[in-house]
Amino acid sequence: MSSSAQPAPSSFTPTLVGRRILVIEDHRDSREMLTAVLRSLQAHVVGARNIEDAELQMQFTRPHLIICDMKLPDGTGLDFIQWLRSQRRGGKTPCIAITGWDNQFPPHVAQGFDAYMRKPINLDKFCTVAVALAQP
């Protein structure tokens, strides 16, 4: 075997091709990092800085997955998920809660979310969960 030999490709490569994802995160660096990771999996990603932006985005697109920070400038992820779950359009969309405030927002209070992750986010786990939740 030569030193330039490539490993055999995996039979399963995680992908989000054709999936629309809404990332609700008020910190620009975190929003851009999550967007870049999701785009590396070939997702179409839209960002929102707060709940108001997210609700506006929901008027124009129906995401296959929503990533929502728990502490936002105009409310909490709990406020958003309560609003989302009350909507006829998009109310069943899978959602991942993310937080750096796990003392204020421990996993058991993240009712209505399909997954919960603490910051700093383990990106391998994040990608695995995102791909699983965004599938048709």
Residue 89 has pLDDT above 90, yes or no: no
Which class does domain 47-134 fall in? alpha beta
Which string of b and e fits 10-44 if b means at least 16 CB within 10 Å? eeeeeebeebbbbbbbbeeebbebbbebbeebebe
Give me the pLDDT at residue 1, please: 42
User: pLDDT tens for residues 67-86?
Assistant: 999 999 999 999 999 999 99
What pLDDT does residue 12 have? 55
Confidence of residue 22 (pLDDT cuts 50, 70, 90): very high
